[in-house]
Amino acid sequence: MNIYTRNGDRGTTSLMNGISVSKSDDRIELVGTIDELNSFIGLAKVLADSSLKESLAHIQRNLMQIMAGVADPRNMDYRFSADETKALEEEIDRIENSFPRIKDFVLYGGCELSARLDVARSVTRRAERRFRKVEQNYGADAKAVQYINRLSDYLYMCARYADYRVENEKVDGIQDKVVRNILKDM
């Protein structure tokens, strides 16, 4: 079977349930935005430590399930679990309590990992807006919508923690250099 169907040449595509829709359909826009989000999470994952990498991979699998649920909303196998949102909330709380977070406006790009996570976060916000439109016009899995909302908070916290770690590594590096210079002069 070929990867191409030629249906897209006419401006249409099919949902997983076989229904043919315009490529400008709100559901296709949402699935495309979540796919873009998944790609940006993959881009951040490249720089992540093993724990964050594992968490981001789990999120990517969740996003694939959410896309499937949008493309085939009647299939109960794709219904999203509130447990996933609860797990994200617990992780957000854990991260937030692990460092003194700055509560002011943040200038993004403190380090490459945080910059990539912030791009993923902003695409998550767009996905949430598109989800609300799909919800209004076609209905949507409320638990999946909630998860997307929490995901942007999670990515924000991960980005701020990445900035914090890089800043502390700079400070520790400077302190180490000062100590080495002092010891050298003794």
Residue 93 has a pLDDT of 97
**Single-letter code of the amino acid located at 132:** R
Specify the CATH superfamily of domain 7-161.
Cobalamin adenosyltransferase-like (1.20.1200.10)
Q: pLDDT, tens digit, for every residue of 156-170?
A: 999 999 999 998 776
Tell me the per-residue pLDDT of 88-98, one tens digit each, with 9 for 90 and over. Answer: 999 999 999 99
Higher-pLDDT residue of 45, 178: 45
HSE of 179, CA atoms in CB hemisphere, 13 A: 6
The predicted structure's pLDDT at residue 1: 62
Vertex 24: Cα angle to 20 and 30 (nearest 5): 95
pLDDT at site 34: 98
As a whole number, mean pLDDT of residues 167-186 equals 56
pLDDT digits (tens, 9 = 90+) for 58-88: 999 999 999 999 999 889 999 999 999 999 9
Could you tell me the residue ranges of all domains in the chain?
Answer: 7-161
**pLDDT score of 17:** 78
* pLDDT for res 178: 45
Q: Minimal CA–CA distance to 67: which of 33, 44, 101? A: 33
For 34-60, write each residue's pLDDT tens digit: 999 999 999 999 999 999 999 999 999
Q: What is the C-alpha to C-alpha distance for residues 108 and 44, in angstroms, rounded to an integer?
A: 14
Helix, strand or coil for residue 5? coil
* Look-up of token digits 């460092």: 99
Contacts by 23-29 with C-beta closer than 8 Å and gap 24+? Answer: 26/130, 26/133, 26/134, 26/137, 26/138, 27/70, 27/71, 27/134, 27/138, 29/130, 29/133
Q: Which tokens belong to 178? A: 């000062």
